[in-house]
Structure 1
């Protein structure tokens, strides 16, 4: 594939990239880095512009002009990958590396706060008897999914153990039974056990009416 075709494909993929709007920076950064790599311009983020010297030959001049052109492309793609409000904030940052580093410094710190918040949500979550256990189980799975987005992957056996411990008071006997086999359970199997038990309990409530 020619350079022109590669650029066309990468630019086509750019149209599918969600605009960064202060959320999920790590995911956006990875996608943007991948795109800039495909465009073969990502090197400007880590390689300084070649300095001009007296009486330099044509080749160093060409390298510097190429760097300046690649820097312009890289800078434009990063800016165009932002929401309009963020574009207005960062459009006057002239250096591509400064732009990239500024975004990283600000939003990686915010991501770190988000990580603590998400982990806290999972650890502090308490199931209650007034709501369906399956509904609450799915909420816990959603929180675990958010952890994965931030590259925080908890061992599945630990996740299973923690969720079992969160079962509401009326599920005490079922919880104790699960604890005897939880080492053999994954999250899907745990959800199946919850679903079966929930269906039995729902049926019993209907019969008692």
Structure 2
């Protein structure tokens, strides 16, 4: 079957990228590499946001806890699982100075 590339769903930019490949496996491998790399970058970003999160005295505690829960949801969405002990210890570590007694 001949494909008319003028009526194809591929845009010219995509066609120009993938027309150099001789076999579909080459295209498939390049797409897998591209999207797994993007997944790793996104996961690294989410983990970094989680780890860098801190509490401060200027914000309400409920707002900050909601932010923390959102970070945990982002980890879960990406199928990144952390031990519960790590999650709770990190939260305790991030508490502001006024919570020193609670930390202990």
Normalising by structure 2, what TM-score?
Answer: 0.69
RMSD (Å) for aligned C-alpha atoms: 2.5
In 2, Cα distance between the equivalents of 1:148 and 1:97? 32
Which residue of 70, 79, 83 corresponds with 1:155? 83
SS at match of 2:51: helix
Deviation of 1:97 (Å)? 3.5
SS at match of 2:57: coil
Q: Which residue pairs with 1:119 in the alignment?
A: 47
Unaligned runs of 5+ in 2: 2-8
Deviation of 1:96 (Å)? 4.5
SS at match of 1:103: helix
Alignment pair present for 1:167 and 2:98? no
Larger Cα-atom Rg: 1
Label 1:102 to 1:155 Cα distance change in 2 as closer, same or farther (>3 A). Answer: same
Q: Aligned ranges for residues 1-209 of structure 1 at < 5 Å?
A: 88=11, 89-90=13-14, 93=18, 96-176=24-104
For 1:146-188, what per-residue CA distance to the aligned partner results, in whole angstroms no more than 9, with x for missing partners?
A: 2222221001121011111111112222333xxxxxxxxxxxx
Deviation of 1:123 (Å)? 1.4
In 1, Cα distance between the equivalents of 2:72 and 2:24? 35
Unaligned runs of 5+ in 1: 1-67, 69-79, 81-86, 177-209
Q: Which residue pairs with 2:6 in the alignment?
A: none
Aligned length: 92
Point out which structure has higher relative CO (alpha carbons under 8 A, 6+ apart).
Answer: 2
